Structure 1
Amino acid sequence: MITGQHTVLVTGAAGFVGSFVAARLAGMGHRVVGCDNFNDYYDPRLKTDRMRALLDPAGVPCETVELADPAQVAALFERVQPTLVVHLAAQAGVRYSLQNPAAYIQSNLVGFGNMLEACRRHRIQHLLYASSSSVYGNNAKVPFSEDDVTDGPVSLYAATKKSNELMAYSYSHLFQLPATGLRFFTVYGPWGRPDMAYFSFTDKMLRGETIPVFAEGLLTRDFTYVDDIVEGVTRLLFKPTPATAAAPAHTVFNIGNHSPVRVLDFIQTIERVTGIAARMDFQPMQPGDVPATHASIDKLKAWVGFAPTTPLETGIGRFYEWYRAWPGRRA
């Protein structure tokens, strides 16, 4: 267990999950410094708005840093002198990885390697990093357990996240770097990413546009509300797993709602919350997609005594309330 006040570096701090995590840690009394590369994967103005709404009131600065540049990473660690690192920066999105694979190699592999090396050199007490439920690929066994074989990624994004887990394991083994990977399951909520289904569906429905629905809407996803993700992150950050004679101080945890929902049922939830009937365009399943995600969270509950609890309709309602009030939404 890690105690006391710390200097925490949060990468991807202007991103969806990163902004909430950074604000929560600052509210707990820690010195928090964020960084982000502010790329244009989606409108960078949303990141600026998150900073103003979440980071600035919490007193969290957010520097512009390109983590794929080892010199910038080294300089960042020298300035900040962190004791703990929450690494959430990454090139996100399964489908975009088919269009721009180079972005995933640079951000998710090169950038992560630079972070590991900086953590080693600065003897970080714990590195918490984002993995993804995508590593489970077409796993037919549900719910997905951390002990399941994850050697069959079906997208480059998933392959980079699996690689992150292997890289972190090796650094933990070789250099005694305590590291924990978090396999996030479809995070949603206010200030989310515009490329996520709940965000784009709501936007299109409000505008009277048709929404694309893949695989007849029969895909299932384990939607996890952002507040539940943040609670899991903050609990795990201060409780790294110790090294044993058999394994280094590295482990991975699922963080999911343990309650998968069919996409069609998900759309019906948005309809109930918004009062708008969706116009659906049914399309084939897309390359890189998986039929289902379903998290086993027994390991998470056993280690930190926490399980996500926010019902989907409650979370979507909070998102919709935020979205209607957000000045940056499309007119």
Structure 2
Amino acid sequence: MFFASDNWAGAHKSIAERLLAESTGFAAAYGAGDLDKKVEARFAEIFEREVSVFFVATGTAANSLSLASVQRPGGIAFCHTAAHVIADECGAPEFFSSARLHGVPGQDGKIDPAKLAEKIAAFPQTAVMHGRATAVTITQATEVGTVYSLAEIDEIARIAKRDNLPLHMDGARFANALVALGATPAEMTWKRGIDMLSFGGTKNGCWCAEAIVFFNPEQAKEMPFIRKRAAQLFSKSRFIAAQFDAYFQDGLWLDLARHANGMSDRLRAGINASNSARLSWPTSANEVFAVIPKSAARNAVERGAKFYEWPVPPATPELVGPDETLIRLVTSFATSEADVDGFLDCLAA
């Protein structure tokens, strides 16, 4: 019963087999091989337009280098106050981009458009003392398991474009958000005004496969140098390409995300039906946040369940009672119905 993170899951069999098949023979290095080019072309097909694709090792690298590509001296990049880029990446985006990250509040883990407009206005292009606005980044799906609707992305993009700010999407759980919305990759990105995407595969069945996608190749001219300087240019990049090749084959990436989301749906339904536990807030991707009795949490841990206790949001201290705890449950492509039902049995006991 592994619900600590989708990062705990291994690699899907098809992806592991594709890596093994690529492990023999020779191929041009540094992204110049046939497989690299094939996968780059596949990204263009998926997004229904010409794109520039850069493989990197981690989501942190993808986020950091994306923001670095659009930064200027004194730059301020705006994100949600709980976004991974500002809360969980050890300052890497600021280190690599020299920009400062500025948090914007909002309900359900999403940037409040009105608050974003206010924050941007506080950093005009002439603000030498305070710095100037240079980018906006949103997380899809968010850190609290919610998903921006297409209309919500439109509104964020409208504000960003009004001030000529590039808009980046942290898509560590891109596939989970996509299937939750029932949208196409194009509909959730460039058709909404997204300029750059951190496309994550690692959480959804890959071993180590992340990519930076630029929807306007003209904006990507500096990225080859930025990536190399950041030590993210793989000599044997075909091994990332091989993972994506298997990931995209016959829609595997979407099937894996549907399964993970489905297991979260099963968890949500079971918790909703429980007499002792309750959902903390509605989620729609592969993360579930629940308030459960401390005794049930101990019981689940003793029976082998892995999950994280989660900080109670400061805005809702009344969410959790004295004998309760807030937990996060994350499902993956490897989560089974037996895992979910076993955890729900722990709550019942």
The interval holding the TM-score normalised by the smaller chain is: 0.3 to 0.5
TM-score between the two structures when normalised by the length of structure 2: 0.34
TM-score of the two chains, using structure 1 as the length reference: 0.36
Larger Rg: 2
